[in-house]
C-alpha cells in the first residue's frame, strides 16, 4: 500500500478513479494488527487503489473528512464518496471486506 505524500496527491487520487484511503498512525495498535491482512485485501479488490494516510501527517484532512478514530477507511469513486468505515474500533478482515463489498 502506497503512502499519501501530499494534499495535491489526495485530490488527484480522490478524483481519478476508485480509491480507498486507509487512515492510520504508527502508534495505533489496532492499525498494526490489520497490517498483515491488507495485502490480501488489496489483491481481492484490485479495482481499487489503496492508499495509506498517516493521521498525524494529515490531521487537517482527517478533520475535513470527520475521521476521528483509526483505523478507518473512506472510499471514493471519481471524486464522489462511495462509503466510509470510520470508527475507533478494531476491525477484522471480514468487516473490512464486507465494507468494500458493500461499495459495489
Looking at the DSSP assignment, which residues form a beta bridge with residue 53?
23
**For strand 18-24 and strand 72-77, is the pairing parallel, antiparallel, or unpaired?**
antiparallel
Instruction: Given the residues 4, 13, 22, 31, select the one marked as catalytic.
Output: 31
In the annotation, is 62 catalytic? Answer: no
Instruction: Given the residues 4, 20, 22, 28, select the one marked as catalytic.
Output: 28
Q: How many other β-carbons are positioned within 10 Å of the β-carbon of residue 25?
A: 15
Distance CA 4, CA 11 (A): 11
Distance CA 66, CA 26 (A): 20
Catalytic residues: 28, 31
Amino acid at each position: 500500500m502506497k503512502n499519501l505524500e501530499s494534499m495535491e496527491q489526495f485530490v488527484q487520487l480522490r478524483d481519478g478513479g476508485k480509491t480507498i484511503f486507509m487512515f492510520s498512525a504508527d502508534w495505533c495498535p489496532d492499525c498494526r494488527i490489520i497490517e498483515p491482512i491488507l495485502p490480501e485485501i488489496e489483491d481481492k479488490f484490485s479495482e481499487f487503489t489503496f492508499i495509506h494516510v498517516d493521521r498525524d501527517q494529515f490531521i487537517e484532512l482527517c478533520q475535513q473528512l470527520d475521521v476521528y478514530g483509526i483505523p478507518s477507511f473512506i472510499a471514493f469513486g471519481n471524486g464522489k464518496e462511495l462509503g466510509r468505515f470510520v470508527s475507533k474500533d478494531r476491525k477484522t478482515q471480514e468487516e473490512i471486506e464486507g465494507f468494500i463489498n458493500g461499495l459495489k
